[in-house]
């Protein structure tokens, strides 16, 4: 396998790893690749950090208690 | 959805509703808000979701993932009521990865890190704005995967597309989002170390 194919496979696995879509053995091999190559580790970090940034900064709308009460009233009445 | 559709008493329905459905109201509201970008429409969508969930509570397979079931109801309600005129997105192949991450990029050991503390502090509501600027199909998979932590399989069921399409869409959505956030970081004076120059140059 050439370097480009290896890199492509690695990047696909980065996404699958962070999305918990690799099997236990695949994850083990993946982590081994990361440990063996600092450049690949940087790609993993970049993708991981994107997800952390999204999760930390997304503004979530407030749910008013009155809204929940309205739903319950409409269903239970 | 369960084949076990025995009639539930009203009391049982209310019990399921309170225990299994209602705890997800905040997640549903967030999802609805980022689909509609309107608080009132989001509330209507959540209310409609709960009305349907309550009405069809017999079809919910107890002990399974209520959150995914509710999200599927909400997504369908959104498509039926809010997005009738929207266009389908271009199909994206997961192998687009080849075009985005060229091997020469990988060989460069410097790049912009969104988690870098100074950038992270400045993001503020840029994430919210950036997600809002994504096409609904992209926004949807980002919200389901990165905010709600649904698996590819669960997302596939919620939005009714094959797992491969979920992966492709997620890949494209994240890259689009990343580009938007990097543009914002560059506008604040950060350099694209990966290419060795500022994007605005």
ipTM of the complex: 0.85
CB under 8 A, 24+ apart: contacts of B60-64: B60/B1, B60/B2, B60/B16, B60/B20, B61/B1, B61/B2, B61/B4, B62/B2, B62/B16, B62/B20, B64/B2
Contact B47 A74 (CB under 8 A): yes
What is the residue extent of each domain of chain A? 3-76
Chain A residues with beta carbon closer than 8 angstroms to that of B42: 61
pLDDT tens-digit profile, chain B (201 residues): 444 556 888 888 899 999 999 999 999 999 999 998 889 999 999 999 999 999 999 889 887 899 999 999 999 999 887 665 444 444 444 444 445 444 444 444 334 565 555 556 656 678 888 888 899 899 999 999 999 999 999 999 999 999 999 999 999 999 898 888 888 877 776 665 554 444 444
- pTM for this prediction: 0.78
Chain B residues with beta carbon closer than 8 angstroms to that of A34: none
Q: How far apart are CA B26 and CA B44, in angstroms?
A: 14
Chain A closest-CA separation from residue B63 CA (Å): 22
């Amino acid at each position: 396998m050439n370097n480009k194919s290896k890199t492509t496979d690695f990047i696909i696995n980065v996404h699958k790893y962070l999305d918990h879509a690799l099997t236990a053995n695949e994850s083990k091999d993946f982590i081994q690749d990361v440990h063996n190559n600092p450049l690949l580790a940087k790609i993993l970090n970049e993708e991981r950090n994107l997800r952390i940034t999204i999760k930390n900064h997304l503004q979530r709308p407030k749910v008013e208690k009155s809204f929940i009460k309205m739903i319950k009233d409409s269903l239970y009445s | 959805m369960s084949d076990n559709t025995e009639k539930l008493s009203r009391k049982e329905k209310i019990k399921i509703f309170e225990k299994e459905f209602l705890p997800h109201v905040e997640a549903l509201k967030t999802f609805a808000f980022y689909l509609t970008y309107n608080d009132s429409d989001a509330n209507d969508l959540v209310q409609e979701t709960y009305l349907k969930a309550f009405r069809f509570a017999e079809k919910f397979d107890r002990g399974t993932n209520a959150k995914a079931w509710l999200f599927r109801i909400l997504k369908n309600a959104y498509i039926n009521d809010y997005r009738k005129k929207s266009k389908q997105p271009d199909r994206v192949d997961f192998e687009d990865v080849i075009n985005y991450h060229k091997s020469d990029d990988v060989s460069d050991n410097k790049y912009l890190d969104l988690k870098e503390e100074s950038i992270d502090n400045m993001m503020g509501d840029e994430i919210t704005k950036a997600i809002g600027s994504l096409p609904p199909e992209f926004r949807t998979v980002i919200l389901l995967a990165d905010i709600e932590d649904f698996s590819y399989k669960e997302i596939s069921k919620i939005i009714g597309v094959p797992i491969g399409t979920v992966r492709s869409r997620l890949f494209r959505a994240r890259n689009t989002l990343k580009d938007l956030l990097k543009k914002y970081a560059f506008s604040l004076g950060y350099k694209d170390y990966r290419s060795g120059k500022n994007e605005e140059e």
